[in-house]
Amino acid sequence: MSEAANVPTIFAEPTPMGLIGLAIGCAALTPIALGLTLTPAALKTAAMLCLLFGGGCQFLAGVMSLANKNLYGGTLFTAFAFNWVMNWWILTSIAGGVMPDHQVLLSVDICFLLIFSAMTYGFGFFSGLLFVFLLVIDLMYAFKIVAALTGTAALALPIAALTIVLGLVALWIAFALLINPVAGRVFWFPGPVFRAAPAPGKAA
């Protein structure tokens, strides 16, 4: 997810670490999203995994990406890391009998949807798989917003399914970045969806 291949880097590519952390966070949320377990112990267990892997791995990946001059990867991972910290707080609060405020969370989810929608377009200039990855996040937030506005429970299962898909896509991208350089094109990783317009005066 680097913008320029010739920019000197300080750290090895941190993207796989951030994506693996995200996948583990999604795995921790899946039993709860599917309604398989909603006990305080389950909520607290998922909360800690969200904090350590979803938040911790992505924060490290974000800071390392920014140090490597990777604006897109650094911005995405760092912002998403704090979102996982919010997941930790929400799950811990619910386990303790305190429900987070509905209106505040709805407002934040709308803001996140706007942010990730713009970043989805931007990542389309890097890879189709990254574009799909962000598109899954967009759909999750859109479904959450619709569910919050309408009070329907019908979107609970689609949101759970998207959580699983997000984790699987994250793992696929991480494996592609880790394995393909040493084993060849084992994991499919397509090129850009969009191509930037040529600068004025330059041929396409």
DSSP 12-31: S--HHHHHHHHHHHHHHHHH
Q: What are the two backbone dihedrals, phi and then psi, of residue 21, each rounded to the nearest 5 degrees?
A: -60, -40
Contact 32, 87 (CB under 8 A): no
Residues across the chain: 204
For the chain, what are the domain ranges?
15-183
Contact 97, 89 (CB under 8 A): no
The overall longest dimension of the chain from CA atoms, in Å, is 63
Q: What is the pTM of this model?
A: 0.91
pLDDT of residue 203: 53
Q: Rounded to an integer, what distance in angstroms lies between the CA atom of residue 49 and that of residue 51?
A: 5
Query: Of 73, 45, 43, 41, whose CA–CA distance to 60 is shortest?
Result: 73
pLDDT of residue 198: 73
Across the chain, what does the average pLDDT equal?
Answer: 93
Q: Rounded to an integer, what distance in angstroms lies between the CA atom of residue 13 and that of residue 68?
A: 8
Q: What DSSP element (H or E) covers 78?
A: helix 71-95
Segment 73-98, tens digit of pLDDT: 999 999 999 999 999 999 999 999 99
State which residues of the chain have pLDDT below 50: 204
